[in-house]
Amino acid sequence: MSNEFYRKLVDLYAGRELPAELEDQMELAAFQDPELSHDMATMRRTVDALQSDSGPEFTEESYQRILMKLYARGIPAQVTTEAPAHIQYHLPMRMN
């Protein structure tokens, strides 16, 4: 098979979606083509890194920060849940 065919399969190789025998053929072809070898190695490392990342953490603090930014820009956000009590602190009011 030609290296052009293997270049089209690099994304499937990176995601480990190819049958074992085709993956072995691609690795053999990569020994003779440095560009193909580089593409295969870097793409696989990238896919592995993305799959191992747990993603961003969305906390209550993040939610409140985004909500305050919306309010500051004048966007009327309709919140369906009540704000938690720990976000707003109640101060004692004294009138003399």
Distance CA 67, CA 87 (A): 12
Query: Is the model's pLDDT at 79 over the cut of 80?
Result: no
Residues 6+ positions from 41 with CB-CB distance below 8 Å: none
Q: Per-residue pLDDT tens for 21-70?
A: 999 999 999 999 999 999 999 999 999 999 998 888 888 888 888 888 98
Domain range summary for the chain, segments of one domain joined by +? 3-52
CA angle 37, 40, 42 (to 5 degrees): 105
Q: DSSP secondary-structure letter at 2?
A: -
- Dig out the tokens for 47 from the structure: 């896919």
Per the CB < 8 A criterion, the answer to whether 7 and 36 are in contact is: yes
Q: Reduced to 3 states, what is the DSSP secondary structure of residue 64? A: helix
